[in-house]
A and B are shown apart, each in its own frame.
Chain A
Amino acid sequence: MKARTLPRALLRRAVGSVPRGSTSPALQFPAIRLSSSISQRLGASHVSFPGAVNSAFTSDLKFVVPSDYPAVPTYRVVDQDGNVVDRSFKPDLSNEEVVKLYKTMLTVSIMDPVMFDAQRQGRISFYMVSAGEEAISVGSASALDQEDVVFCQYREQGIFAQRGFTLKNFMSQLFANKHDIGKGRNMPVHYGSKELNIHTISSTLATQIPHASGAAYALKMQHINDPSVPPRVVAVYFGEGAASEGDFHAALNIAATRSCPVIFICRNNGYSISTPTLEQYRGDGIASRGIGYGIDTVRVDGNDIWAVREVTKKAREMALEDGGKPVLIEAMSYRVSHHSTSDDSFAYRARVEVEDWKRRDNPIARLRKYMEANGFWDESKEKEARDSIKRDVLKAFSEAEREKKPPIRTMFEDVYEELTPDLKAQMQQLKDHLEKYPNEYDLGEYEDGINSLKS
């Protein structure tokens, strides 16, 4: 690790020294490094090519080999048995607040199998559980400010739950009923919320990562334009598979060069659908890449909610330092569940491997052990919490299932800000058609039936 961080520190010093030591034009435009401001001194021990300032000359022909470097270590606060291992750690939450986080994780983990089964029964079209990753989403979300902007991939129900997305919100989206914020247009699990500052999920992998860089630049500019707007950060979540997309590369590079206050949070759960990480990358995970982009990086035990909280808190502080900069967190976990309801993961991994993870280490059990060790949780509280959450989930479920679907008109709206003449004409065509063939369609489940198509 030492060897890796060294060039970066030198680089900082080199860039910093240019305006101080000279009266070059760089003084007036410190943001722009002109190539003419860097030149090679005679007899220098370091190269000053504009592309790599202050790289030491060497007469030793040696390739940099990844295996020469130890893997980036994984930070943890609490071990698998719930014991605190970071001696400097001091819990910053009251016992009640810890219980609340625990219950949020529990809510997600109870909703998951209920909805998974609902899909199996054909009551919703699709579902994705987030078993094993509840601590990453709930823990990191709990360390962000509510005004911070969040972009998700799709396996982050915990963030929504932590920020205040209600069971009714979840269920309305999953059943695509008239209360769905997304107006019934998106596949299940593609949640979004304006009040909670979470952008709506899209299926396209990694596209949200450069959005986050842009949004972070927007927040930075809004704070500069109006200092009464508090400084905020953007947090963006993605899996280790998505990190292979070009958008990941683009986003990290642009965030670094434009100094955007964005926290990149990678959920490395070992698989993207059936592809194990050995077929995804050959470097040291995702964390090792952050350094290459000049981004401060940390790897954390994603099954340890305390560790996730600690690194996110620290990352948020760092992201706002010096006018803003990106930070990368790689949170390690294991995808205990199938990829989605369309996937049978035992086709590509051993049942025993999954069972081992479930039994030996998972984020909910670990926090429960911590709470029990500290004397504020026990078996009866556990049972009571599980029962009451399950009741609430089932209640929201059956209410959402009974609701009508959004008006058919909704399908034409929001393509543009206003309905175009073309869209108005097409809406009329659909209306004429439905009137002509009333028995071919079931309009009863849609709010207002055919009437919503009136122009």
Chain B
Amino acid sequence: MELDSVMLSRMLTSMTLAFHIIFATIGVGVPVMISLAEFIGIKRKDAHYILLARRWARGFTITVAVGVVTGTCIGLQLSLLWPSFMRVAGQVISLPLFMETFAFFFEAIFLGIYLYTWDRFKKPIYHWLLSIPVIIGSSASAIFITTVNAFMNTPQGFTLRDGVITGIDPLKAMFNPATPSKVFHVLTSSYMTSAFILAAITAWVILFGKKTEYHMKSLKLTMAAGLIFALGTAVAGDISAKFLAKVQPEKLAAAEWHFETGKNADLILFGTLDENREIHNEIRLPKVLSFLAGNSFDTEVIGLDKIPEDEQPPLWIHYMFDLMVVIGMYATFISAVFVFLMRFRGNPFNKPLLWSIVASGPLSMLAIEFGWIFAEVGRQPWILRGYMKVAEGATRADHVGLTFLMFLALYLVLAVMTVIVLTRMFKKKTPEQEFEERYSNAF
């Protein structure tokens, strides 16, 4: 591996995105959970849920701040690190980028209003209504930015001849074949991950702090929501796999180590690969890949033999794909067990289950990272699939290495500070104290 500008640009972009995606995911999912909690609180006249929404919202401001600044970083880095790419693709993707900023603007305005108007309205439902534009804004910005990424996977809506772009159709570019499945998968997995992260925090507190009514309600809400979103994510993932089989077969083939085109293709779970592309130590599910690709065991799945060698993605994305799927199934299973025990009067608050929930939060976030690494590395060597390779898009400026180190330092500082500030914020005042202060007169 040579550390030239191309490699360093890739490393810096990956680092920024890997860091940003943590906060972006929380930014898309947590408003939904806050809104749910407040709505239930108002409907059931249960102050515990209102307090839950308030406390989540307070922590959310910190993650939003980091999300906003890292988002600004990646926004500008696109031009700083990939100027040749932006010069060409910028003409086609500027509409969704522009609309993403609008959505972000909308969200920022209403988030500011939401956070500072808790006690300003006579009817609490008015305050709850303010959470709707926040959700619309955050989810819409996820949708728009995902269309940009989808465009890079399946570009359309323009003609490129000798580096000159003509015949641009902005809407066709935005609603490219990859858009529906990507958007669906991004939204459900963000909602899911946020629910499991909030659940993991609650489960941790129940294990090591107190098991109060407040915490039990919190865990019930987050686990129930988590189950629904996890099922949604599974459906979205299935749609995405079928899409890949049809439109981007090289990505699925690399992910599944599927070398020979053919029917009755096996699904490979984990395993290792030797120099001769022989698979060892794998768990083999016969014919399942065919089923995954087209709902029938006879579906023909295109293998890497049909893809020119210099256009094949690296084969290690197989592990990313497997880890993502396995974590998704784990989280679905855990939340299903919890909801089952909750419905049928079992004890969902038993220690092993609580520990499993604690694990589900960070694991879901890891699954997000793995999924994005799979999606992004899976379209290597292309930056604009079929049009422009990564090496042609990168900056020719020097000092990318220095820039990498500067941003590495920045993200380290931000990561450490975020953890410290969030921990301090929630330890300073326990929910019981806050509940006492706020509602001792009212109830």
**A and B bound?**
no
